[in-house]
Structure 1
């Protein structure tokens, strides 16, 4: 991947609906080589797909929570069970494995506080093997970007 490919990716991260002609113009390529590069990025799995950026609150998911989870044990069965079950939860938008005292960081979206309580009680607690759950609720967002920085 070269700097031109990265320019294409940044442009598509900003606006995945632009036409190939608009994209080619923006990255200073003619349309045919631009389309060829996009197809190569798709084929290589670098460009994984296209999606709509939907406002969670307008959709009805007004509460975002960052949930830190520590497992009781770190054996293979406990870890695999937890990860398999979390993957199946639509409310969990992201799940990251961490270094340090917390094992996982989840970004969760729900309709409100009552929905969050229900999510924890009926979806997370039944997973089992969880030692602790620590939650921080988002009350404002300063920056949210899906555009990666340019590399040299």
Structure 2
């Protein structure tokens, strides 16, 4: 069930999405609250699962993971057991940042980070081969990242209208 968020909660979330390392005192100042009510609101957002966790966003280029690839995966079988087996296996692959079960022509879409294409070739052979029930793999290689964000939109953008 969704938690009812007021404008102050949304402001807190916007600020924390930009800098999750803020101390409560600084956060309270930025959202125009005193420290105690701000702390209570953040705690309520955490307890209700609106804020799942706090993380550091690492620059992949600075740690030698400068290639991001999108990999479409088709399995040999569409049986629930095959889907679950591959889903469980992909959880163990640190190179896979995201794995989505798709409602399209492919079964899975993976977001993979590696140092270079040679390493990806080895990864594909070792991890996305027939042993894992994979029928075929198609890799998309982006030329340039245009936008990347972890911040979710917290209001309906102008021009969007909900039907009654």
Q: What TM-score, normalized to structure 2?
A: 0.87
Change (3 A) 1:60 1:103: same
Structure 2 counterpart of 1:80? 84
The answer to whether the 8 A contact 2:24-2:38 is kept is: yes
Two-structure CA RMSD over aligned residues (Å)? 1.4
User: Among residues 47, 56, 61, which one is paired with 1:43 in the alignment?
Assistant: 47
Indicate the SS of the match to 1:50: coil
Change (3 A) 1:114 1:23: same
* 5+ residue gaps, structure 2: 157-164
The answer to whether the 8 A contact 2:128-2:137 is kept is: no
Deviation digits for residues 71-118 of structure 1 (CA, Å, limit 9, x no counterpart): 221112111110000011000000111111111111000110110001
Q: How many Å separate the matches in 2 of 1:105 and 1:7?
A: 33
- How far off is 1:151 after superposition? 2.0
Runs of 4+ in 1 over 2 A off after TM superposition: none
* 5+ residue gaps, structure 1: none
User: Among residues 106, 129, 132, which one is paired with 1:128 in the alignment?
Assistant: 132
Q: How many Å separate the matches in 2 of 1:126 and 1:52?
A: 35
Q: How many Å separate the matches in 1 of 2:84 and 2:15?
A: 37
Q: How many Å separate the matches in 2 of 1:50 and 1:26?
A: 18
Q: Between Structure 1 and Structure 2, how many residues are aligned?
A: 152
Q: How many Å separate the matches in 2 of 1:64 and 1:75?
A: 29
Q: How many Å separate the matches in 2 of 1:149 and 1:94?
A: 20
Q: What TM-score, normalized to structure 1?
A: 0.93
The answer to whether the 8 A contact 2:71-2:110 is kept is: yes
